[in-house]
Every structure is written in structure tokens, then in C-alpha cells.
A and B are shown apart, each in its own frame.
Chain A
Amino acid sequence: MKILVAVKRAIDYNVKARPKSDGTGVELANVKMSMNPFDEIAVEEAIRLQEAGKVEEIIAVSVGPAQCQETLRTAMAMGADRGILVQTETEIQPLGVAKLLKALVDKEQPGLVILGKQAIDDDSNQTGQMLAGLLGWAQGTFAAKVEVGVDTVDVKREVDGGLQALTLKLPAVITADLRLNEPRYVKLPNIMKAKKKPLDIVTPADLGVDVAPRLKLVKVSEPAARAGGVKVADVNELVAKLRNEAKVI
């Protein structure tokens, strides 16, 4: 079977985002961008399934500007076989991304789609679930363990109280949580090899998908900063402050 993996180019997880001074958006000029960390986990899982002989081909897909080619090359350097960029300069919201991915799923007919559970820029945590809904497929979100069988997949999910085990009918959509695996480091020879792997570029119009945003961004602002606190000398001073000043214990 084929696996389709969706990867997003997002702000690097070490960078603290700030609103633009005019409040129209987030300052992203000259900010370091990387593959969304949960999508790295998704790519890694696809590769491990391929290494286990469960998967013939891994197709990495990204939606966004031309620079997303770098993100796809990273996925291919990790081990994806080819890439598809749905190129667009405009902002695409999760529902639009899900519709684009559905169009590619209809075309490529993968048995499994794996995505990160959440992108660390807009923090939506929606695309995988939306894609599963549009396809009428089962969804295994926040996956901590994935075992692919013949026509089903067993998924252990991270839920609020612990873990939940589900069996899903294939084809299915899975979203990766933190503990699913530890993504491999990309080796230099593989970066060179990835440059030769096929990368197709299409547009939302090519796929016949309306990606007009549904949510209007009115403004962005900075949350109220916490007032700076004090350092205490020792535990006795700390307990005294908590009892008498903050009155929280």
C-alpha cells in the first residue's frame, strides 16, 4: 500500500512568535522555519512502516509557498519516496488543506494518511480529523502506537486520562502524537539523494478545490505579560510568601 504523509512548513519550535506592530498578522520575516515537529513524527512512522515491509511507497505532501519544497526535501531525505507541493501564496485554513489532501488522496489512493496532530503555528489540531470526515474514513488521532494489519490498523491514542486502543478499518487517517516515535536525524548523503527524488508541483486550481478562507482574521495582539516576580532566598521564605502574601496554601 501507499502512504501519504502531510508536512507543514512552520515556525521553528525554538522561536518565540510576535504579532506585527500593526496587528495584521504574525511577524515571520527572517524567522527560522522548519518542518512542524509532529509532522516529522508522521514521516518517521511512515518510514518505519515501509522498513517493516508494510508499505511500498511514501508520498510526502505539503501545502504552501515555494519554500515548502525544502520541507518536502527534508521529508524525502528522511526517506519519503516522492513529494507533491500544492503551491499557493495565500493562507490556506485547515478545511482548505483537508480538501486539497482529499483531492490528492482521490488521485493517489493511499491506504493510510499520516499527519502531525497539530501544527505549532496556528495550533488548530483539525486537518487530520477534517480529512477523515471528508473521506468518510476512520480516524486515529493523537496516536502513540500504530500497528498495521491486513485490512485494519490498531492505534493506541493519547487521551486525557491515559491511552485508548482502537481498531480502525483501512483505509484510515492517523495523526501523530509525541510518543509515537523519535524521528531520525537526516544524514548528508540522504540529503543529496533527496535532491534527485521526484517533486511535483500543482496548484489548488489544478485540483479543482476552493480554498477561500472561511475565518476572517480581525486582528492579532500580544497576551498580557506576567508581571515579573521575585527571587526568594530559601524554602522558609517561599513558604512564608505563599502563606501570607499570595495566600494560596
Chain B
Amino acid sequence: MTALVIAEHNNAALNIATLNAVAAAAKLGRPCDILVAGHQCRAVAAAAAQVVGVAKVLHCDAPHYAHGLAENLAPLVVRLAANYSHVLAAATTNGKNVVPRIAALLDVAQLSDIIEVIDPETFVRPIYAGNVLATVQSSDRVKTITVRTTAFDAVAAQGGNATIEALAPGPDAGLSTFKGEELTKSTRPELAAADIVVSGGRGVGSAENFAIIEKLADKLGAAVGASRAAVDAGYVPNDYQVGQTGKVVAPTLYVAVGISGAIQHLAGMKDSKVIVAINKDEEAPIFQVADYGLVGDLFKEVPALIEALDK
């Protein structure tokens, strides 16, 4: 049987996290369809049809699918589920929001945040902030899954040639209404997909001081992240948060500045290729995972680093 991937998009463009979810579906060794449900999202359906490994795009267009509301999207997927062995979505906030609702309506378990496909019934997922890996097996008829994007290399966005099939929309459940959004505007790369991430922690000390982190990030062409402590203290918005309950990132280079390295932060970044830590406390746990540690005052070291990068 076929696997179904729920596309992540904003009605205009396909979010690349979808390509990681398709990659996980490909590991199941079976064909994969993509559901593009949205409003005036024809361009997204066309983009999804180009993705390598996709057999068919199901395009469902109606105003009440515009914002991915779980109350409307879940019944649509449930209607399709009889034809599929697996339903997958990237473990983004949208995926995490809708997939458990689908699972409950299907009366099946859900597998959260898988990092490996052993076989079509068996998966590996991190638990306890990634300090333990659980191998779990599902005998449910439909496996509902969210995919940790950093664990699966994205498939190519171009080169496929899937058919696009129009899908009749279901009703508006009338339970929830979208009122608006406040999206963080940034010219920097997206945190979850950036090659380089510079994160600041409690040690940065204030929202104003975070400018020093941003300056280093801009020098490196990096995204800006933060520890939970920095978010808690109100230095930066929550969508900057890297960690167990924030975003999980695995960039080529992760620079942790003024971050002690609490369990919950390490869970979000320890799969980065190279980790640099700058912290004045040489006993800080962050140094145990850092490839390169620099003990020193961040207010002195970070400006010096920016200068050294110019040389």
C-alpha cells in the first residue's frame, strides 16, 4: 500500500520540511502520495508534483483549509486513510497539531518525531529529551507518524512528475476560526533549516544584549536561536527556542553563546555537525558536547570573534 504525506505550506510555497517527510516515506519502500490542502494553493500542488518520489498529488482547495486548522484538516485525512498504510507529516508545529487528532479519529496510536525507519512497522524515536532512543513497533492498520526533519535528508524538490488529482473538500467543522498571525520577520535564514545557527542563552543577560548574538549571526550568515532560559527571561520570542520542547536543529555549525547546556537545550542541537561553545564557566555542561570550547566573557569574546572572522 501507499504512504500519504501531508504537505506543509503557506498556500504559496511548499515548505521544505515536506521534503524530509517524503524522504522518511521513501524509507518505507512503497509509493508515496502528497496531500496539499489549502486555499488557492494550486502553485503548491504544482511544486509538490515535482518532488522526487511522489506518485500522486491530492489537491484539496477550500477557504477553511487555508490555515491548516486541525478541526478541518483531520477529517479530510481520515476520509483518505482507508487507502493508505502510513500517514506522515513533518514534526513542525502544524504536523504536531494535526496528526494526533487524525490518529485519535482513526483509533490508532501515533509515532512522534521518528528519526529512523527500521521497517514499515518499526521506528526509532527519541524520548526523555533525546537521552534515550526507543524502538517501537505498531501493528495498527494505519501508522500515523510525525518525522523529525533533521534525521532524514530532504529528497530533491525537482525532477519528479506526479499527477495532480483534485479532491472534493469536506465541510467546515465550524469549531475554530483563524484570526490572524504575527510572524517573526527576518532576513536571516530559517532556524530549522539553516546551515549555521548562533544561539544565545541566559548569559546574554538582556533583550538589548541579544544584538551581539545577532551581529555574530549576520557575520556568519546564520540563523539566530536561543535557549529556553533566554526565552523564559523574555530576551527573544519563543520561536527562537532550540531544545526538547522548541525547535530541533542540526546545522553544519552551531555556536552556543552564554548557554550552560541544560538537558533540554542539548536535546535540540546535539546532532549538529560542529558545535562551538563560548561560556565563562569552564565547568558548564555545554563544553561536554562542544567540539571547540572557548572559556571567556562573551561580551569580550564575541566582538573579538566577529573581528577575527574579518581577517
Structural contact, A126 and B122, CB atoms closer than 8 A: no
CA distance A16 to B270 in the complex (A): 15
In the bound complex, what is the Cα–Cα distance between A181 and B5 (angstroms)? Answer: 35
Q: Is the CB of A238 within 8 A of B276?
A: yes
Contact B182 A219 (CB under 8 A): no
Q: How many A-B residue pairs have C-beta atoms within 8 angstroms? Tell me.
A: 268
Majority secondary structure, A binding face: mixed
Question: Is B206 close to A, CB under 8 A?
Answer: no
B294 and A234 form a contact (CB under 8 A): yes
Residues of B contacting A: mostly? mixed
- Provide the residues of chain A in CB contact with B308, threshold 8 Å: 235-236, 238-239
- Chain B residues in 8 Å Cβ range of A126: 100, 103, 110, 112
Residue from the list A163, A214, A231, A248 in contact with B182, Cβ < 8 A: A163
Interface string of B200-211 (1 = CB under 8 A from A): 000000000000
User: With A231-B287, A239-B311, A248-B252 given, is the CB distance from A19 to B132 under 8 Å?
Assistant: yes
CA distance A138 to B101 in the complex (A): 11
- Determine which of B70, B107, B130, B183 lies in contact with A139 in the assembled complex, contact meaning CB atoms within 8 Å: B70
| Count of residues in A whose CB is under 8 Å from the partner chain | 83
17 CB-based A-B contacts, threshold 8 Å: A16-B263, A17-B132, A18-B131, A125-B112, A133-B105, A139-B97, A162-B182, A163-B183, A172-B175, A179-B232, A213-B109, A214-B139, A215-B138, A230-B291, A238-B292, A239-B309, A242-B274
- Known A-B contacts: A162-B237, A169-B174. Give 18 more (CB < 8 A): A17-B132, A95-B103, A129-B98, A134-B105, A161-B184, A168-B175, A168-B177, A215-B111, A218-B135, A223-B131, A230-B292, A232-B292, A232-B293, A235-B308, A238-B292, A238-B308, A242-B274, A246-B274
Could you tell me which A residues sit within 8 Å of B by CB distance? 11, 13-14, 16-19, 26, 38, 93-95, 98, 117-118, 120-134, 136-142, 144, 154, 157-169, 172, 177-179, 213-223, 226, 228-232, 234-236, 238-239, 241-242, 246, 248-249
